[in-house]
Amino acid sequence: MPERPKKPSKAKARILDAAASLFHQKGFAAATVRDLADAVGILSGSLFHHFPNKGEILFAVMENVIIEMDASLENALAAAIDTKASLRALIRNELEFIHGPHGAATAVLVYEWNTLSPENQSRLLQRRRAYFARWHTVLARAKAEGLVSQDPALLRQLLHGAIVWSVNWYDPAGALSLTELEASVLALACPSQS
């Protein structure tokens, strides 16, 4: 009888971790429950002891990351001393999620949103809106102060696109540092400052 690694009560977390990378790597539809079970080190049927179906695993991955992302942004904004620092926090936070430890889950959240069933989408909609509301608040203030010139809703989408797309090209181990990338995105938003 081969010994299993002792990871007592963190089974669900292990599944979600593996699911995030797998769904990111192969896409939700192409990733099979057997792939996922292999990555975790269990048999495919055992997954359904923890989740009722494959779709709920996707949901859980997304819910986790959206909660952490919003909480992280809340903290970052609380520590920002002025509007420009808030602007930087918006960008920095999203970049850190996309390229940090939660990168896979964040990418899944962004790129597999339409894969979610409508019911599961609406289960996440409130948090999603709350997160975007933080963006809107900061961007609206930035515009009022003349820091940025574009419409907040439009600017949010443009910046969001620029940031999340970086998952497809940016290499954290490469020459460009995250801070430099952050500065570049910030420069897109509010050009007047250096």
Distance of CA 67 to the CA centre of its chain: 10
Stretch that binds DNA, among 30-38, 105-113, 135-143, 144-152 (CB under 7 A): 30-38
Closer residue to DNA (CB): 36 or 148: 36
Give the total of residues touching DNA (CB under 7 A): 27
Closer residue to DNA (CB): 8 or 174: 8
- Find which of a second copy, DNA, none residue 105 binds, CB within 5 to 8 Å per kind: none
d(CA 15, CA 57): 8
Residues in the chain: 194
Among 39, 55, 80, 158, binds DNA (CB under 7 A): 55
Residue 12 as a binder of DNA (CB under 7 A): the answer is: yes
Among 16, 19, 20, 33, binds DNA (CB under 7 A): 33
Q: Helix, strand, coil % (nearest 5) of the chain?
A: 70, 0, 30
Lookup: tokens for 104: 């896979």
d(CA 20, CA 40): 12
